[in-house]
Amino acid sequence: MKSWLWMTVLLFPVCGQADETRIQLKDAPGRVTVMQNCGNCHSLDYIPLNSVFLDRKVWEAEVAKMINAFGAPIAKEDVSTIVDYLSKNYGK
């Protein structure tokens, strides 16, 4: 067998094993609402990655930005649940 073919056979399994573990948000009231609303448009990885920087006011602004600037289809009655969950569980 040609050497390039062996390299392909040996490297293929390594390339196919990227870590694509789904993020698990903290189990608390509002988690499902956040997953249903936020997870529809982007990865939930952004929540814990950005949480070290965000307090309640910034989480409020982030949710408002998602609705007003990006058109996220979040119902008005879900906004406070989302902000409460994010600020209590991923707030500064």
Q: What is the pLDDT of residues 42-74, one digit of tens each?
A: 999 989 987 878 899 999 999 999 999 999 999
Give the per-residue pLDDT at 90.
93
Domain assignment present for residue 30? The answer is yes
> Is residue 17's pLDDT more than 50?
no
Average pLDDT over residues 3-11: 47
Task: Spell out a b/e string for 51-81, using b for 16 or more CB atoms within 10 Å of the CB, else e.
Answer: beebeeeebbebbeebbeeeebebeeebbeb
Q: What is the pLDDT of residues 68-91, one digit of tens each?
A: 999 999 999 999 999 999 999 998
Predicted TM-score (pTM) of the model is: 0.74
Domain assignment present for residue 13? The answer is no
Give the per-residue pLDDT at 51.
80
Domain assignment present for residue 6? The answer is no
Domain assignment present for residue 27? The answer is yes
CATH number of the domain to which 53 belongs: 1.10.760.10
Domain assignment present for residue 18? The answer is no
Domain assignment present for residue 61? The answer is yes
Structure tokens at 88: 């209590």
Give the per-residue pLDDT at 1.
54
The DSSP annotation for the chain comes to --HHHHHHHHHHHHHT----PPP----STTHHHHHHHHTTTS-TTHHHHHGGG--HHHHHHHHHHHHHTT-----HHHHHHHHHHHHHHH--
Structural domain count of the chain:
1
Domain assignment present for residue 28? The answer is yes
Domain assignment present for residue 7? The answer is no
Domain with 28 in it:
23-90
